[in-house]
């Protein structure tokens, strides 16, 4: 009977050890998935491509929407001085409305997002190139030492 109890204890200890190993693996996997820096390094190019595609799609939609909505009024020659003055007042109001900035808020936001995405993409590529050169430098030094 003592032997059966010892056997059960050993079995329980082995099960505990196996569960601990599984728990450690699961914990490491969860940490790896929640580590945003590592995930960004791993999936950065894919995320940048998706972001750029979304910005381009949004820009295309906004531009098409703006062009389709824009209706050109008929251009007719003004018949009198009062009509010319009224037309000038309308033009002045339109210029004051735009205040020299032109474009809608969505267009401005799109332009800023595109410039930020371009800057971020350039920075990302520059860092990757520097890292690749840094990684290649020790290999070149080893090759030079072997040749010399």
pLDDT tens per residue across span 3-38: 888 888 899 999 999 999 999 999 999 988 888 888
- Residue 107 CB-density burial (10 A; 0-12 exposed, 13-18 middle, 19+ buried): middle
The string over 57-73, giving b where at least 16 C-beta atoms fall within 10 Å of a residue's C-beta and e elsewhere, is eebeeeeeeeeeeeeee
List of residues 6+ apart from 24 with CB closer than 8 A: none
Question: How far is C-alpha 106 from the geometric centre of its chain's CA atoms?
Answer: 18
* Whole-number Å distance between alpha carbons of 112 and 115: 5
According to the model, what pLDDT value does residue 132 have? Answer: 83
Say whether pTM exceeds 0.85.
Answer: no
């Amino acid at each position: 009977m003592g032997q059966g109890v010892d056997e059960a204890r050993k079995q329980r200890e082995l099960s505990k050890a196996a569960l601990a190993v599984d728990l450690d693996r699961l914990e490491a996997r969860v940490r790896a998935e929640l580590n945003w820096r590592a995930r960004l390094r791993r999936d950065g190019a894919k995320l940048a491509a998706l972001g750029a595609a979304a910005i381009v799609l949004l820009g295309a939609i906004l531009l098409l929407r703006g062009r389709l909505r824009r209706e050109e009024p008929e251009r007719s020659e003004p018949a009198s001085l009062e009509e010319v003055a009224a037309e000038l007042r309308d033009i002045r109001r339109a210029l004051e409305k735009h205040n020299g900035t032109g474009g809608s808020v969505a267009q401005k936001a799109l332009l800023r997002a595109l410039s930020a995405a371009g800057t971020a993409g350039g920075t990302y590529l520059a860092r990757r190139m520097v890292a690749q050169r840094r990684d290649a430098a020790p290999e070149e030094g080893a090759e030079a030492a072997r040749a010399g």
